Chain A
Amino acid sequence: MRTPFISVQGLKKSFPEPNGKGALTVFEDVWFGVEKGEFACIIGHSGCGKSTILNVLAGLDEATDGVIVVNNQHVMGPSLDRAVIFQGHALMPWLTALGNVELAVSSRHKEWTKAQVRDHAMRYLDLVHLTGSENKKPQQLSGGMKQRVGIARALSLEPQILLMDEPFSALDALTRGSLQDEVISIRAKTRQTTFMITHDVDEAMLLADKILLMTNGPNASVAEIVENTLPKDRSRIDLHKHPNYYPLRNHLIDFLVTRSKELRGVAPVGSEARRNPPIVRPALGGTTHAVAAAHQEQTREADGAALPPGRVSAA
């Protein structure tokens, strides 16, 4: 069987108990894949280990068991090809907005001259509409602008994968909305493979092609993979008018409220349901369940003509 672009295989994380006896397993036997150009989103309650999965994928944390394969290579540590947008912007406060992006660019392209680094950084600050604020320090920028710098820093690396750890959760609703629009428009240009963690069901429905649902921790796992049944060119304004909006939303809310608890440990470790979590397509007139293997063939065909990820087409 063909491996997807990002392939998470039997991932497990456990911590030794403070008393030294036994171990607390946060999640185990987690399997899923993300295709090139796909936007995958993971939803689950606090404590199910979503952030740990993202950190292992980023190379910042190590799994107790299992592997992650990206582009046919084992993830062994951090890489410039997997850029992270952190929850708290994580900008260096002693550098300007431009300085923060330049730090990333100069690390990616060590051979570039100062002018080249600057031009490249400015191009990405312009992409997130921050031209004019490039010489401001982070404390002079609003929360939304800081996160824009964080996005510019990650995108300036032109990574294969963009990892977002609840990137907008610290922002107010209006700012969050405008940044989500930003992400949509950037993705329309770059077809960037993206993996995001969120708590926000509406955010997942707006941005993601595929939503991974995790059961509650400890011993959490991926219970279901929900395919977004809303049209590809959706926007915040007319999203809720689509007939599939409520079936999809209800399915996700229902999972978070009741099923995430009930499904914990239902699929035993090592079972087929762990390796190939059921794929669900909630839509008006009834939810359809698909077979995982068939789905993978389908996405491969669909993504055959995708743009190379991580490149901004003609800025």
Chain B
Amino acid sequence: MATRSWASTNVKASLVSVIILALFLTGWHLAVGGTGPTTKMDPEYAKLMGITATQGKSAMPGPMDVAAKLWEHLRDPFYDRGTNDKGLGIQLAYSVARVALGYLLAVLVAIPVGFLIGMSPLMSRALDPFIQILKPISPLAWMPLALYTIKDSGISAIFVIFICSLWPMLLNTAFGVSSVRREWINVAKTLELGPARTAFRVILPAAAPTIFTGMRISIGIAWLVIVAAEMLVGGTGIGYFVWNEWNNLSITNVIIAILTIGVVGMILDQGMARLQRMVAYAD
């Protein structure tokens, strides 16, 4: 009985989702569709004015235009026809690679340092003022400094990802480690586990769900920031693609990029959610 009502809720929800999508697409289609010839004008003049004026059609592409263009992109995602004309897949690969690098560097720093802060009240208090000041800084504010010191726009973007992914992981690791139950620590002590085995066999698994929550927040923020960072540094990546297509006045490609950013962000988040479930424990 319980499973049946659950299944039927799922089916109903999917149905509602489909209806909402259909309504949205229809609304979009109607909103940008032409109203037919508006005013009679000289054909030469009409040619200059384009369909926006002559047919009452919006410059905004309709869902069919976007779908057609998207199909074109999906058919050949990895083409490379020079600096400003690379396939969507290549651009995404650049962005994902930058995020992965910056994020992994942040993991390597945040988890050990978070462990230290969580274990040592002294270090926690000593590092607290730095964290409090550095944490609220918009990651993009670091960009000029990064460009000046690193002198490489690609690495600067990676640095920006590093700095924005650092804080949630650092704070969550410190919190997870410091709030490991007293009794588990006591068990470790009475079993004479020693510092290394206590860290890896007791504290790490106990804090893992909290650490992974931080890692999930971080990957989300990193994916938000990479688009802005790539708009600034230019060259490659999905952020650069959005800005380049805006300069080309290709709203269709801008919309496709927006959609792709959303899908990739969702995949990253769901991947982390899966890892989070693997380390979760019920108490």
Contacts and interface: CB of A to CB of B under 8 A. Distances in A.
Interface residues of A, number: 24
A60 B282 contact: no
B166 to A, nearest CB: 27
A78 B183 contact: no
Nearest to A61: B186
Interface in A56-102: 58-60, 77-80, 82-84, 86, 88, 90, 92-94
B182 to A, nearest CB: 9
A249 interface: no
Nearest to B209: A94
Contacts, number: 59
Interface string A101-112: 001100110000
Contacts of A84: 186-187, 190
B72 interface: no
Contact of A58 (B190, B193, B201, B205): B190
Contact of B189 (A59, A94, A138, A157): A59
Contact of B191 (A88, A93, A107, A138): A107
B130 interface: no
Q: How big is the B interface, by class?
A: 20 to 34
Interface in B250-283: 279, 281-283
Interface string B191-203: 1110001000110
A107 B193 contact: yes
A229 B69 CA distance: 93
A137 interface: yes
B79 interface: no
B163 interface: no
A88 B183 contact: yes
Contact of B202 (A59, A60, A78, A92): A92
A131 interface: no
A139 interface: yes
A157 B191 CA distance: 9
B184 A78 contact: no
Interface of A: 58-60, 77-80, 82-84, 86, 88, 90, 92-94, 103-104, 107-108, 137-139, 157
15 contacts: A58-B190, A60-B190, A78-B190, A78-B192, A80-B192, A84-B190, A90-B181, A90-B183, A90-B186, A92-B187, A93-B283, A94-B206, A107-B197, A108-B191, A138-B283
Given A94-B208, A139-B283, 20 more contacts: A58-B186, A59-B190, A60-B189, A78-B189, A78-B192, A79-B192, A80-B190, A80-B192, A83-B190, A86-B186, A86-B187, A90-B183, A90-B186, A90-B187, A92-B184, A94-B205, A107-B191, A108-B191, A137-B282, A138-B283
Interface of B: 181, 183-184, 186-187, 189-193, 197, 201-202, 205-206, 208, 279, 281-283
